[in-house]
Every structure is written in structure tokens, then in C-alpha cells.
A and B are shown apart, each in its own frame.
Chain A
Amino acid sequence: ETGVTQSPTHLIKTRGQQVTLRCSSQSGHNTVSWYQQALGQGPQFIFQYYREEENGRGNFPPRFSGLQFPNYSSELNVNALELDDSALYLCASSLGYGTDTQYFGPGTRLTVL
């Protein structure tokens, strides 16, 4: 196991609602990255946080936002959910950023109806 945990495991929401997904990084890891993985596809980078500040962002709209806390936990918030937001959401923690090895959690499966 990677030592990275995510909650909840599964979640069902309806279109237009808001959702918060949580991740607990390995202790001492200053960087967390979030990814969206649609069924049958590779993970798509959403954003990365390093020491509580955003350190990189992929091609996702502003309704995807995040927070990183000093206790190595983090959140992914998605507002105004759309059907296409249905996916597996993965977080990954690393000691630093750049090329440091990322350790992935098992993901949260979000279904938007």
C-alpha cells in the first residue's frame, strides 16, 4: 500500500450539486496532485499543491478547486456538477514537486446523475 487514503470510496450526486473529495497524503509529503480518470482512459491532471499553494494546473475550469492543509490532508471541490464529471478521482502525494515519485491513493468513484 502507498499510505495515501481517499474518502469517500464511492459517491453519487446529481447535476448542479457540489462535491468535496478528501485525500490524506503520506506523512511528510509536501505535494499533492489531483487527477480525473474517466472510464477506460488515462488520468488527467487537474492541479497540484505544494505547501498549501497551487503549483500547477491542467485544463480544468475554475469550478474545480482545491485546498491543502498543514496536516498532509487535502480536498478537491467541484461546483455545479455536470454529467461528464463522472469519473474516478485520484490523488497522489510526493515529497517534493517536479520529478519526485508520486504515490497514488485508490481513488473516489464519483457518479453524477
Chain B
Amino acid sequence: GESVGLHLPTLSVQEGDNSIINCAYSNSASDYFIWYKQESGKGPQFIIDIRSNMDKRQGQRVTVLLNKTVKHLSLQIAATQPGDSAVYFCAEILNTGGFKTIFGAGTRLFVKA
């Protein structure tokens, strides 16, 4: 079916620690994946993306890892800050005669000062 799920609904980390948010996807035909951050009262905000021909991609303080063998994505946030507190979604884009973005359920990240 069309679903992108997350292993952990909530994650609490200490400020300065690294955070890892995981995601499992079920559509092996997907070739593009995105991580979004959603703060309260706002729409999702693009963080980082990765194509299926890559295993790893790094941005500023964030790294996305893709394991196609087990259909798993992860988002790593280095030196987590209070401003990183939000809900994080992974999403995949399917092209089935038209493009659609399939979001997962989300993980809420709490950063303790």
C-alpha cells in the first residue's frame, strides 16, 4: 500500500546531543525522499532531500541516510538546539501517471535545555 511510517512517535533529547529520527517506507518504486519540519501553527518546511541513487546526503547540521534494501530513511540532527523542537515528517514522491507526495505520521522532537 501507499504508506510511509515512523518508528518513534516522540523523541526527547538533551540540548547539544545528536538526534536520530527514523522512517520506514513501503513503496520501492519511490525515487525521491524528503524530510520536513513542522512547527506549531505553521506548514511543513523543507529540510533536506535525497534521491534513491544516493545513500547519504548532508546539509547544515542535518544528514539523511537512505537504506533501500530495508526501505529505511533516517534524519540525523547534530548538536540539537531548542529551535529544533518540532514535528518531523519523512515523505516520498511517487510518479504514478501523476505526482503525489506521501507523508508519514511524524515524530515529535523535544529538546531539553
A39 to B: closest C-beta gap in Å = 11
Which of B13-21, B56-64, B78-86, B100-108 lies at the binding interface?
B100-108
Say what secondary structure dominates the interface of chain B.
strand
Contact A99 B102 (CB under 8 A): no
Contact B43 A45 (CB under 8 A): no
Contact A99 B43 (CB under 8 A): no
Contact B43 A107 (CB under 8 A): yes
- What is the total number of residues of chain B having a CB less than 8 Å from a CB of chain A? 26
Tell me the complex Cα distance, A40–B46, Å. Answer: 19
Tell me the complex Cα distance, A7–B82, Å. Answer: 30
Contacts of A97 in B (CB 8 A): 99
B35 to A: closest C-beta gap in Å = 12
Contacts of A25 in B (CB 8 A): none
- Across the two chains, which residue of chain B brings its CB closest to A50? B99
A100 to B: closest C-beta gap in Å = 9
Contact B43 A44 (CB under 8 A): no
Tell me the complex Cα distance, A32–B56, Å. Answer: 29
Tell me the complex Cα distance, A98–B91, Å. Answer: 13
> Which residues in window 74-94 of B have CB below 8 A to A?
89, 91, 93
Contact B49 A99 (CB under 8 A): yes
Residue A57 at the B interface, CB < 8 A?
yes
Tell me the complex Cα distance, A4–B68, Å. Answer: 33
Contact A106 B43 (CB under 8 A): yes
- Across the two chains, which residue of chain B brings its CB closest to A42? B103
Contact A106 B42 (CB under 8 A): yes
Contacts of A26 in B (CB 8 A): none
**B interface residue numbers (CB < 8 A to A):** 2, 4, 32, 41-46, 49, 51, 89, 91, 93, 95-106
Q: A99-B32, A107-B43 are in contact. List 19 more A-B contacts (CB 8 A).
A: A2-B43, A35-B101, A35-B103, A42-B89, A42-B105, A44-B103, A45-B100, A48-B98, A48-B99, A55-B98, A56-B99, A57-B98, A57-B100, A90-B44, A98-B99, A99-B49, A101-B49, A102-B101, A104-B44
